[in-house]
Structure 1
């Protein structure tokens, strides 16, 4: 069965829109600031999608475009300024940034209460320790999609292929918090298939097209493809996996819409918290 992220995301965004309307009635308009460094075509497309979805939910957008040659110091200053702006409730730094930028330093310039993409060390620690805070948007979307299809995680073996600090690592922490037994793997794991064949829940987040083949999947596994590569190709060889998995996310239409939905939901939540602090 295909896991329809588009339909599940619509329900989340519809609720975010209703909450936004209630906030506007009280004089508060949730605002998401997007920051784009350079003009990478894929990043430009992603930011535009997020702005369009924000507009449909009634959420305000503030877009900041910065030149590719910008320094880390200047980017940090821009993010710090947004963090201090009371009219901005959520901040999204589109990643990856150009290689000369210290991405971690840039992420850490985002105030935790505005980190609606869940990229700071504060947010990661909150996820790991089960404390209040914003979750990384893609892992959060994955967990919501698993819930949508009533996948029981307790006692299951979850294998995460990928170790990104904003995807692979946090999704493993979130699965662990739901009583799954978690194994982390990556592109350099020796005999990777011996691990993935044990997975009741397999999360592919390695950033390599068709990296996980059908023969590396346990029959009946739930397969979450969090990869997105040129040509709308995921990290899983869909044709080889679809007959092995009990549930599988398509690319596109699976994890992607859920990521944006969680981002918008958390922006509205940030606006609510800001309103309570007034």
Structure 2
């Protein structure tokens, strides 16, 4: 079987070309103003700093603006809430990203939920999640929304298919399940403590690995012809799924790296552009 490679890196580059044109058109209509993403980094975690830099670079590539707010690791919840509120009030900021994770002394959920709905371009607020789940207008969590855009572009059938999502985090597994359900898939949510996990996965037409453990999902558990989406990334360039033995017997799969990751960043920028268009128009 010749499997379809769901190439997120190539697709993100294609989408950037389209966004670059949209940004230029918007700037012409808005007297040179451009959509702007504000990123908040608390502490000095090297991986988080790299992610924030990548998001700023993506903004620059399409002609959008970005603001970096860097706070010390000693920052309190109250101080972070104040920084978020300042960005909420700033009319030149159209999207706000609070980089996860934050230091342990901070109430991360309270800070996520302080982000204004219209600027929640990373889809992390409870209000945004609830509205998305109910089919109302809201920006979806960037990684699952990026996966949905990837599947849509490659015309992967979802309606009536059985999807198994392995993972239940509030910014990946749970919204992924809701988005697939909204696309008329039949969805089973599993996790690292699910009994007989392999049996659930063997029934899946679509498998989404979002459990956060390297190669936790074994190739032998996945049936021939399934669609395999790996949302994990770990040292050594491996994801949550044992991909090596699968690439010649599934119908479609996402490479690691180069599959879901580029679409996550692209979706964050895509949704910031949409927020900017709403505000500046």
* TM-score, length basis structure 1: 0.97
Aligned length: 276
1:137 equivalent to 2:133? Answer no
Q: Which residue of 2 aligns with 1:227?
A: 232
Instruction: Tell whether the 8 Å contact from 1:12 to 1:262 is kept in structure 2 after alignment.
Output: no
The Cα shift of 1:154 comes to 0.6
* Cα distance between partner residues in 1 of 2:273 and 2:85: 20
Q: SS of the residue aligned with 2:164? A: strand
Residues 176-209 of structure 1: per-residue CA shift (max 9 Å, x gap): 0110000000111111111111110100001111
* Cα distance between partner residues in 2 of 1:253 and 1:211: 19
Q: Which residue of 2 aligns with 1:43?
A: 48
* TM-score, length basis structure 2: 0.96
Q: SS of the residue aligned with 2:58? A: helix
After TM superposition, the structure 1 = structure 2 runs for residues 44-63 of structure 1, keeping only pairs within 5 Å, are 44-63=49-68
Residues 111-135 of structure 1: per-residue CA shift (max 9 Å, x gap): 0000011111121012101111111
Q: SS of the residue aligned with 1:13? A: helix
Identify which of 146, 152, 158 aligns with 2:163.
Answer: 158
* Cα distance between partner residues in 2 of 1:145 and 1:5: 7
Q: Which residue of 1 aligns with 2:275?
A: 270
After TM superposition, the structure 1 = structure 2 runs for residues 231-250 of structure 1, keeping only pairs within 5 Å, are 231-250=236-255
The Cα shift of 1:260 comes to 1.0
CA RMSD in angstroms, aligned pairs only = 1.1
Q: Which runs of 4+ in 1 moved over 6 A?
A: none
Gaps in structure 2 of 5+ consecutive residues:
none
* Cα distance between partner residues in 2 of 1:13 and 1:98: 33
